[in-house]
C-alpha cells in the first residue's frame, strides 16, 4: 500500500492563464495566489484604473511618465489579483480596501480599512516571465521566512513537436 507523505496532505495551489502562458503556483501549508496578464493587450487602462485601483495607487500611477503607466497598471492589477486569490475571496473584497506600495524592496500590501488581516503576514513576488507577460505571486503566513521560488518552464511535447517541425 502506498502512503502519502504528510507534507503532501497540506498541498495548496493556484492556477491561471493568459494568452499563451499557464502558471501554477504550489505551496505546502500556506495559502497562495498567482496571476498573470498579457501586457500587450489593448485595453483602456485610464478608464479601468479608477474602478480597480485605490487612491494611493492612482496617485502612483499618475506620477509615472506616460510610457510607463500601462506596465505599472498591470503590475498593480496582478498583485491585487494574486492577493484576492490567496485570500480565497475573489472579487467579493472591494479593490479599494487595500493597495500596493511598490516603493520598497518588494511589493507590500497596505490595508485601507480595519480588517482581521495583517499586511505583515504577506509576501509578494513579481516576475516578467516573457516580454509580453507580467506575473505576481502572493503567499500568506510566512512573515519570518524568506519566500523561495522555483520556476520551471514546461513546454508540452505536442508543442515541442510543432517547434521541431518549424525548425
Spatial separation of the C-alpha atoms in residues 55 and 59, rounded to whole Å: 6
Q: Is residue 156 part of a domain?
A: yes
What is the per-residue pLDDT for 62?
Answer: 95
Q: Is residue 71 part of a domain?
A: yes
Produce one character per residue of 8-23: b if its CB has 16 or more CB atoms within 10 Å, e if not.
Answer: eeeebebebebeeeeb
What is the torsional sign of CA 28, 85, 124, 142?
Answer: negative
Q: Is residue 1 part of a domain?
A: no
Per-residue pLDDT reduced to its tens digit, 130-146: 888 999 999 987 655 66
> The pTM is what?
0.81
What is the per-residue pLDDT for 160?
Answer: 47
Structural domain range at position 25 = 6-166
Calculate ∠ Cα 150-130-81, nearest 5°.
70
**Bridge partners, residue 138, by sequence:** 33, 124
Spatial separation of the C-alpha atoms in residues 156 and 138, rounded to whole Å: 26
Per-residue pLDDT reduced to its tens digit, 85-133: 998 876 667 787 889 999 887 898 988 776 666 777 888 989 888 888 9
What is the per-residue pLDDT for 114?
Answer: 66
Q: What is the mean pLDDT of the chain?
A: 81
Q: Is residue 111 part of a domain?
A: yes
Per-residue pLDDT reduced to its tens digit, 14-60: 888 888 888 888 888 888 999 999 988 888 988 999 999 999 999 99
Q: Is residue 85 part of a domain?
A: yes
3-class SS of residue 47: helix
Spatial separation of the C-alpha atoms in residues 126 and 6, rounded to whole Å: 30
The domain tally of the chain equals: 1
- When pLDDT is cut at 50, 70 and 90, the band that residue 83 belongs to is very high
Cβ contact 141:31 at 8 Å: yes
- pLDDT above 90 as % of the chain: 31
Q: What are phi and psi of 19, to 5 degrees?
A: 35, 70
Spatial separation of the C-alpha atoms in residues 148 and 102, rounded to whole Å: 20
Greater model confidence, 41 or 154: 41
- Could you give the dihedral angle defined by the CA atoms of residues 85, 32, 79 and 16, in that order, rounded to the nearest 10 degrees? -60
The CATH number of the domain holding residue 156 is 3.90.470.20
Amino acid at each position: 500500500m502506498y502512503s502519502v507523505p504528510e507534507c503532501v496532505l497540506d498541498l495548496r495551489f493556484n492556477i491561471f492563464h493568459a494568452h499563451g502562458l499557464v502558471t501554477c503556483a504550489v505551496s505546502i501549508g500556506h495559502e497562495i495566489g498567482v496571476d498573470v496578464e498579457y501586457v500587450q493587450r489593448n485595453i483602456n487602462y485610464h478608464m479601468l484604473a479608477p474602478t480597480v485601483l485605490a487612491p494611493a495607487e492612482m496617485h502612483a500611477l499618475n506620477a509615472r511618465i506616460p510610457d510607463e503607466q500601462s506596465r505599472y497598471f498591470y503590475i498593480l492589477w496582478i498583485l491585487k489579483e494574486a492577493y484576492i486569490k490567496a485570500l480565497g475571496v475573489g472579487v467579493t473584497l472591494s479593490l479599494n480596501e487595500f493597495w500596493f506600495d511598490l516603493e520598497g524592496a518588494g511589493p507590500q500590501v497596505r490595508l485601507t480599512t480595519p480588517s482581521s488581516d495583517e499586511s505583515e503576514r504577506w509576501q509578494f513576488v513579481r516576475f516578467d516571465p516573457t516580454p509580453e507577460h507580467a506575473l505576481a505571486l502572493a503567499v500568506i503566513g510566512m512573515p519570518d521566512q524568506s519566500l523561495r521560488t522555483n520556476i520551471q518552464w514546461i513546454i508540452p511535447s505536442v508543442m515541442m513537436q510543432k517547434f521541431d517541425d518549424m525548425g
